[in-house]
Structure 1
Amino acid sequence: MTVPKTLPHPRDRILRAAADLLANGGREAVSTRAVSASAGVQAQTIYRQFGDMAGLLDEVARQGYAAYLADKQANLADGDPVDQLRRGWDLHVAFGLANPALYRLLHTDPRQGEGAAVMGEAYGILVRLVTRAAEAGRLRMDVAAAAAMIHAAGIGVTVTLLSAAATGVLSEYVGLSENTREAVLASIVTDGPPEAEEVRRTARGARHAVALKALLEEGDMDVSRFTAGERLLLTEWLTRLAAPATGNH
């Protein structure tokens, strides 16, 4: 007697259909009608499983990002914080080139709710890496500003490379990612401990202010002896002291 093959659960068929449609046709190809036809389900099944199409695309993004986020988490292991930022950049660009449709969904035409959770997690990891650089006295500016700069530049480079790949001219952009990465890092971090003879005292002090501010924000220093007003004032002072670090070498 032949045992009939069991079809995958409707949820799994829907996810596979949506992921395939996204990869082959982009965001606009993932319509209710197309997913229903490809997965062999009624439209009501999609809404029952995912709430709406945005919920479906959220789950497609979450599953597509799973391995990438695991690699990002592994990059949080102990090590030189600037080297970790380099590896994080490379992981970001490599993921985009390997998953162009999913990357564009999340970064070039975002819609409310789609991929917000996974993007937030990835950005949180970036902020943690930048904070480590600040705590090591390697950051020239505020953590938030540095993270935003890396994030924006990384997306810009990846989108540029995706466009080049789509038009068959990717070979003309060899070295773009690495060169941009190093230019961005040079503007926000030091190469190592400040050289006493070559770095002005104001620049050194600013980097220490950045480091202290990062430690305070992470809760690694006991400031319970200060009043709320004193803590606010301390944060303001450190922010002002950190400002000269931007652009100084």
Structure 2
Amino acid sequence: MTRPLPLSPAALADRLAALVAGASPEPGAAALRVAVDGPEVAEPHLLAAAVADRLPALGRGAVVVPADGFYRPASLRLEHGRTDPDARYTDWLDAGALTREVLAPVGPGGTGQYLPVLWDLDRDRAARARPRPVPDRAVLLVPGTLLQGVGLPFDVVVHLRLAPAARRRLTPADQQWALPAFDRYDDEVDPVALADAVVLADHPDRPALVLQGRFLS
């Protein structure tokens, strides 16, 4: 594990883009599969987009597939109510569908095609998207929450870490009900320990980067 390196948000995206651009996928895979994991208030979608924007200049194609496009229908996701933290932790993401439609097809022996979205959350119905081919030398980034510990076959994991106090401080009042899900995630999965890159994000305008795992080998 490296010492925390303070960076501006732009420099953080530069550094992460350089790291993933230099990483190879598994033999026979069409893309390097990268999780950008963190609570919504840490804005993993924005970081994934910023990294993706930088990759073509580094010789890599880039695709962003948000994990929330693979949430379950409301009838399943909200079966125990709209503010159940246990359901938020276990029931929202369809990890099997994300693997089947995105991560496995671009992995070793796959078709090289991915489904950009499975479920339209706004309309609560199937999105009816068609599979798309990944570009050459692709990096496929999946931003989302609670992505580790559920068997998703990522090659690289970037985790945006917020301490519990920072999560409480940054989370809007109408979303505080979900905080126990993230406390449970920290306790049961320990996402910091599993990640290859950890972004210390308690102060979003002053992040710091810690490298470990794959990026130390």
The bucket for the TM-score relative to the shorter chain is: under 0.3
Larger RCO, structure (CA 8 Å, separation 6 or more):
2
Higher helix share: 1
Q: Between Structure 1 and Structure 2, whose CA radius of gyration is higher?
A: 1
State the TM-score, normalized to the length of structure 2: 0.24
State the TM-score, normalized to the length of structure 1: 0.22
Higher strand share: 2
